[in-house]
A and B are shown apart, each in its own frame.
Chain A
């Protein structure tokens, strides 16, 4: 079974800082990581490969430096890495991203075998739209299973796959047919560590690198900024609140302070006070 996992290199946003005066993002020196949800997807893919045999290909679109994320994925045990990079892709929104990735996926299918499963993460931690997975599926006209928390069963003979999908108010158990696209939630599986042996292999591995032309994109107006219907017009800092916090006097024992706080809450909102008492009257 051939499986492709789409991974995105993202800034480790825990370390992103906003400049306090200019309100711009300070990207300098911010380390990058593989988007966390993509690692859950990768783990799921590696497990399926270990069980059924086959190959796992990882694919990323990004600047040439995104190769680091691909090597990282190879150390976890992926078999092949593909980097899609071209200045024409710069400024892509989700529609342009899904276009470029779908073209690369077609080429991967042609060169290395049609993937039975394409995995993506549920969303990234930077763009955070959760739109690229569904976008790729539609572009490739594949069945899609989104927000999957668990793969229940894969039946290679009948070519069916059964998953648990997080829906509103519950879990849907869905059965679909290969080839599918799956977007992964945080799974319960323990994630593997990279092995020394794989790390050595990864350092030497050749990363397949394609540009727009290599994946057969003729119409460059579908790429990058030009191929993006959304236009970011304005970036600004959220307006602060002007009224200051009312601090409750901090005198006395905890009991006195607790009562002072409750008085202050009820003084600001008689509505909350009424709700609480109405509810208490019903409850006891």
Chain B
């Protein structure tokens, strides 16, 4: 399967990350990708570049600075009023033009709604390979990108290559890669790119944006502590015990997939393969069996604590700490005990 790379692809060099900026905010996954991209670029002995696009030059220059501090050597900056919001058409055109002009060998994007929409369009336009939702990126002995992703509901992994086409593209979910160290003051060079977009030529218009600012929107992927419940809790009423513990600990709460199906929690609080990937310092799972699809979403946690009545539950195979106990009685006791300790500490200080 490995042929000599076609002549016209030999000029393709460097590792790129397409940075996600919406409403002035850089999505953290972009920094995680810069961290990973840095390692790949060093291994290949090439540059790491970031692509930023938007309508606000000052903000884009600020974003470029952040990219340098997180490891980029170069930033391709596309500024145009038509790039005020993400739209498939405009973003695909800008990114494909950039790739065709500057020829990167590897192009990484976040596996977010924005990133998947853009990556799928760009890969098809360029007629190259794209590996979805990678969890591991490596350079093999021959210098190709080896992207590993879970398959069959996470029970197996497979490694995918794009050997005979360029760029080699992959998306990575938020929180799968660790956040890199920031190197304040680190700089690089900016390459301006004029996308020359004519707004009238773009068919799709953004009429409105309704931000999820309501406090109930979960930010599970970035929470330091997550408390979650599963079917073992037995009822929606008992699930409130999870919420109460989370509240006392200042944590986010979530659950296994069946709870979404039962309507005990909303879909944005589902943890696992088809829900959110989390990477907290502490994860407490109460009444969750630890099915493989759940496991792949929590394995990045520094500490996994399992509360389960069944000592043979699969979750004990990957938890760090466990207690064989009835969650319905233990959770209120934990809530009590935490709140007592936190209160004592406050009085003492």
Contact = CB atoms under 8 A, between A and B. Distances in A.
Contacts of B27: 168
Contacts, number: 265
Contact of B157 (A94, A176, A237, A243): A237
B206 A279 contact: no
Given A167-B86, A168-B113, A138 B92 contact: yes
Interface in B277-299: 281-282, 296
Interface stretch (A52-60, A70-78, A256-264): A256-264
B323 A147 contact: no
Given A230-B130, A240-B317, A167 B22 contact: yes
Nearest to B322: A245
A272 B280 CA distance: 10
Nearest to A183: B117
Contacts of B150: 238
23 contacts: A16-B155, A131-B120, A134-B124, A135-B124, A146-B113, A167-B114, A168-B20, A168-B22, A168-B112, A169-B212, A173-B206, A175-B204, A230-B129, A231-B160, A233-B158, A243-B320, A245-B306, A245-B320, A257-B325, A258-B337, A265-B321, A269-B281, A281-B349
Interface of B: 1, 20, 22-23, 25, 27, 85-89, 92, 112-114, 116-117, 119-121, 123-125, 127-133, 146, 150-165, 203-212, 224-225, 249-250, 267, 274, 281-282, 296, 302-303, 305-306, 316-325, 329-330, 332-334, 336-338, 341-343, 345-346, 349
Given A168-B27, A230-B162, A265 B153 contact: no
B184 to A, nearest CB: 23
Contact of A272 (B113, B120, B303): B303
A234 B158 contact: yes
Given A138-B121, A235-B156, 8 more contacts: A130-B116, A145-B204, A177-B204, A229-B165, A248-B323, A261-B321, A262-B338, A272-B224
Contacts of B146: 233
Nearest to B29: A168
Q: Which 10 A-B pairs have the closest CB atoms?
A: A134-B120, A229-B129, A129-B132, A254-B333, A258-B333, A230-B129, A173-B208, A131-B120, A280-B342, A170-B211
Contacts of B349: 281
A213 interface: no
A147 B24 CA distance: 22
A194 B245 CA distance: 44
Contacts of B332: 254
B334 A261 contact: yes
B209 A231 contact: no
A125 B161 CA distance: 22
Contact of B159 (A23, A172, A173, A234): A234
B132 A131 contact: yes
Contacts of A228: 129
Contact of B206 (A16, A174, A231, A245): A174
B129 A147 contact: no
B310 to A, nearest CB: 13
Interface in A45-81: none
Given A168-B112, A173-B208, A231-B163, A241 B124 contact: no
A277 B342 contact: yes
B281 A272 contact: yes
Nearest to B147: A230
A231 B337 contact: no
B151 A231 contact: no
Contacts of A125: 274
A57 B146 CA distance: 39
Contacts of B333: 253-255, 257-258
B250 A138 contact: no
A162 B112 CA distance: 22
Given A134-B124, A232-B159, A174 B207 contact: yes
Main secondary structure of the interface of B (DSSP, over half): mixed
A175 B206 CA distance: 6
A283 interface: yes
A247 interface: yes
A183 B342 CA distance: 48
B225 to A, nearest CB: 7
A172 B330 CA distance: 43
Interface in A130-144: 130-135, 137-139, 143-144
Contacts of A174: 87, 204-207
B117 to A, nearest CB: 4
A246 B120 contact: no
B111 to A, nearest CB: 8
Nearest to A14: B153
A270 to B, nearest CB: 11
B83 to A, nearest CB: 14
Given A18-B156, A175-B204, A262-B338, A268 B321 contact: yes
Nearest to B328: A254
Interface string A82-118: 0000000000011100100000000000000000000
B134 to A, nearest CB: 11
Nearest to A228: B129
Contact of A236 (B112, B157, B210, B342): B157
A138 B163 contact: no
Nearest to A271: B281
Nearest to A230: B129
A4 B131 CA distance: 27
The winner among B85, B160, B165, B320 for most chain A CB atoms within 10 A is B320
Contacts of B306: 245
The winner among A233, A234, A265 for most chain B CB atoms within 10 A is A233
A279 B338 CA distance: 13
